[in-house]
Amino acid sequence: MATPAYRVKPITPPVLLASEAVVADLIDRDSRSWKTNLIHRVFDPEDAQIILGIPIGELSRSDSVIWHYGKEGKFSVKSAYYLQLMSLSTNSASTSGGNAGEYMQGRQDRWDLIWKSRTPPKVRMFIWKACQEAIPTQSNLARRIRVPGEVCALCDLEEETTMHVLLKCTFARQVWALTSFPWRIISITMNSIKEWIWSIYGLLDPVRGDEFLTICWGLWQHRNKVIMEGLHTEALQLVRRTLCYQEEYVKALDAVRFKHSVSEAR
């Protein structure tokens, strides 16, 4: 009989095992074999068959923690992000009955978060355009007028795409390295710039998420100044200016709201 396809986590809830049970509890040390009867009692037939088909290695080896939401049992930020999306989707389905519109609703919710972010309007508009691949990078221009795209004016190494400007360019990497954002989060691999921006923003708290969006905008502004005016800015200076700009905007926003609330209270 062919062995069923391997899945990292059994689907059966191990109700007959203690919460602190480990793999070794399923193995007979004397015979160096699986405790067949116990496994059949604890797991459903398919899970039991898969477990019994796994070769037993060194019994002296310690158990290790497995992240069963990722390939090969290894944790990654990307798998955690998708787990969060799946959880939100599942919760939505349980309350609305589940339909094709839920996916679109999830997309709209993410856009709503960005549009309602405490960032300057020009930042939000840039993010929207970037996610639609509507900013005039060399790659986007080449696709519209059907000519080969030119390399990045900042690094002169790769074709200038939106992803390149905001993440892959050597200058962008320098900028992100000078921020307090963990590189393992910023460098998460996605299929499109939209998914990358949504992913990072969804993993950060609101304040940090807004700073992330504003730095993306700052990178694009710097690119424009280099191309149009020949003005280069040091990476650290860009980080400081961009974060200061975001901080000043939030302060002004809070001041206006406070003034408005005082006026209403009178």
The residue behind tokens 């349980």 is 94
Q: How far apart are CA 189 and CA 174, in angstroms?
A: 18
pLDDT of residue 128: 93
Under a CB-based contact definition with an 8 Å cutoff, are residues 217 and 225 in contact?
A: no
DSSP letter, residue 28: E
User: pLDDT digit string (tens) for 126-135?
Assistant: 999 999 999 9
pLDDT in the model for residue 126: 96
Q: Give the Cα-Cα-Cα angle 218, 219, 225 (nearest 5 degrees).
A: 90
Q: Please state, in angstroms and as integers, the Cα–Cα distance from residue 6 to each residue in 73, 75, 111, 203, 236, following that order.
A: 12, 18, 37, 30, 48
CA angle 70–109–128, rounded 5-degree value: 95
pLDDT digits (tens, 9 = 90+) for 134-172: 999 999 888 887 766 689 999 999 999 999 999 999 999
* Predicted local confidence at residue 2, as pLDDT: 41
Residue 161, by phi and psi: left (phi above 0), alpha (psi -120 to 50) or beta?
Answer: beta
125 token code pair: 């508009």
| pLDDT value of position 98 | 45
Q: Which two tokens stand for residue 23?
A: 């793999």
What pLDDT, on a 0 to 100 scale, did the predictor assign at position 72?
Answer: 66
Supply angle C-alpha 149, 155, 181, rounded to 5.
110
Residue 213's CB is within 10 A of a number of other CB atoms, namely 24
pTM: 0.61
As a whole number of angstroms, the distance between CA 190 and CA 194 comes to: 9
Residues 6 or more apart whose CB falls under 8 angstroms from that of 187 comprise 167
Q: What is the pLDDT of residue 193?
A: 94
Strand, coil or helix: 51: helix
Element of type H or E holding 33: strand 33-34
Which positions of the chain have pLDDT values less than 50? 1-8, 88-105
Rounded CA separation 97/82 (Å): 21
Position 90 scores a pLDDT of 42
